[in-house]
Structure 1
Amino acid sequence: MIDGYRLAPAQPDEVPALAAVERAAASRFPLSLLPVPLRGDTLPLPQLEAAQREGRLWVARDPAGTVVGFACARREGKAALLVEIDVHPAHGRRGIGSGLLDAVIDWAQRAGAPALYLTTFQAFGPGMALYRRGGFLPLADKDIPGFIADILAAEAEAGLAGRVAMVRMLAPRHASASAPHGDG
């Protein structure tokens, strides 16, 4: 629990609320990074529903139980990928993003992934700071795995400039070595 906020695996009835959180979080990005036409784009509902069913989607709830943040991850071969992490701006600066990131890291370690990857805007200071605090390092072009290169290319084609890849190497932990991630 973070100041009354609770982090937990997403429930099926919470999934539809995530698009509003994602759109609200997009308002924090400068227009130079995230142009107006792209600000309404969100993860497809079927993708989020699959992540929820498979235990790869976490939410943050405020003290009233309203979903105010989420993180979504997936496996890519043996590695793991942070697909999306968002916190509603009205609930920022409370450690919610860090808590959600910790939940993803814990999931990836328990799944035995040797590394957790992500893509982000290099010029967006708050995101870069969150990921650096979480142990992520930028990847040199020569070290970017093929699936991440494909993601970066798709992001550039969609109009997202200045994206970089980051990685956190993981020491695998098995499910029996830690309790299920509950309230962050």
Structure 2
Amino acid sequence: MSSTSSTAAGGGGSPTSTTTTATTGGGPTGELELHYAARDGAARVQGLSFRVRVRNTGDETIALSDVTIRYWFTDDGATSTFMGACDFASVPGGYTSVTRTFGEASAAEADRYLELGFTSAAGTLAPGATSGEAQIRVYSATYEYMMQTNDYSFDASLTELTPWEQVTAYRDGVLAWGTEP
């Protein structure tokens, strides 16, 4: 298991993470499709837990290192550092090829996001191909309780990987799938 952290209250990060502000505008480019499933459907949890994978819907091969994914959530008043863990990934390089950073947002259902990325070891996606899934957790360093039901990206009814536009995907920083909050 590997994790990256960011300060819950101030949005700062560890030396290996960065914090950026969510962008708005743009629209899906039609190159990517994001599949999401909740791992824990409880309303109140000590860690958000979900699964994601990416599908290349375009006609060109895409380097996974050019793809990022944002899971949008609320910090629910957490006061300790946020951590992001990849418990499992079935992409080349495994969980060590999935990067995690936190950013701030300004929507009612999302004042934070976890951004997932991929190292070059994760390889490429051919047209029509689907990446392996990544199993992700978000938690505070002191395991403070969080409410998932007020999070933009959360849907307890999605227990199997399903296209879900409330988890966004980007190619080279441009929104390629989904709708930001």
TM-score (norm 1): 0.31
Larger-gyration structure (1/2): 1
Q: 1 or 2, which has the higher strand percentage?
A: 2
Structure number with greater CO (CA < 8 Å, separation at least 6) is: 2
TM-score (norm 2): 0.31
Q: 1 or 2, which has the higher helix percentage?
A: 1
